[in-house]
Amino acid sequence: MTIERIPTHIEGLDDNMQGGIPEGHIAIVAGSSGAMKSSLTFSMLYNAVLYGETSGIYVTLEQGKDSLRSHMANMGMNVEDPRVRNRIAIIDLADLRVQLDEQGMGNRVDWMGQLIGQLTSYRNSIGFEILVFDSLGAFFTLTKMENPRDEIFRLFEAVRRLGLTSFFICEMTGEDHKQFGEYGVEDYLSDTVMHLVMDRDADDVKRKLGIVKMRHTHHLLGYQPFWWKEDEQRFSIVSRL
């Protein structure tokens, strides 16, 4: 049985993980603030849309839609390209939250139910295949949930049932920042874990990327320095020497 895969388009990475991330995987992209979680994940969706016949939804809660678009444009990605405009829908939940708070409704909304309902209806109407969720932590600050672990399970199951390939962005938490996500279940419940770190050596800081796990895949282990190639609009782990 061959597994269909979605290339990351990160130079040097796909060849070292059997071609890409298996379709249908739930991936988490974890890392500290500024580790380039949003940029890396957006660039994967961007290139999947430009070079593959796919489409996706980018749900943003951390930063507004305009801020996200201008960041990606500043990196050299052509967010005005009709293929990008037509096949990447950016949904700004932060904006919706502000509106609901202004109406005093913020606490009365079943965010998880609403979200799953929205994703299901988008899936049925526009048939997108890739979901980016930026970020899980920001979503859980929208409202107090009785049992966040159960809610994460519910969300992941819904996404699995919809047959989406998904990327959930999360922070590192816990003592020493060694835990993926906030609730200690995110990495167990997911199929793929990508970890972005900012490695500090005295005054020098290097960004590095590691595939912590990827089910169904023989992949590169260890942390590789990565950087953005603006002229090629993709990240690279290939040594510059």
Q: Which of residues 39-78 bind Mg ion (CB under 5 A)?
A: 62
Cα–Cα distance for residue pair 106/100, rounded to 1 Å = 5
Contact track, ligand ATP, 71-100, x by CB under 6 A: x--xx-------------------------
Whole-number minimum distance, CB 37 to ligand ATP, in Å?
4
Closest among 96, 155, 162, 81 to 124, alpha carbons compared: 162
For residues 190 and 215, what is the distance between their CA atoms, to the nearest angstrom?
9
Picked from ligand ATP, Mg ion, none, the partner binding residue 92 (CB below 5 to 8 A depending on kind) is none
Contacted entry of Mg ion, ligand ATP, none for residue 65, CB cut-off 5 to 8 Å set by kind = none
Contact between residue 94 and residue 61 where contact means Cβ atoms under 8 Å apart:
yes
Find which of ligand ATP, Mg ion, none residue 228 binds, CB within 5 to 8 Å per kind.
ligand ATP
Q: What is the distance in angstroms between the CA of the first residue and the CA of the last residue of the chain?
A: 39
Q: Judged by CB under 5 A, which stretch of 3-11, 37-45, 47-55, 177-185 contacts Mg ion?
A: 37-45
Among 62, 92, 182, 191, binds ligand ATP (CB under 6 A): 62
The residue ranges that bind ligand ATP (CB under 6 A) are: 31, 33-39, 62, 71, 74-75, 228, 230
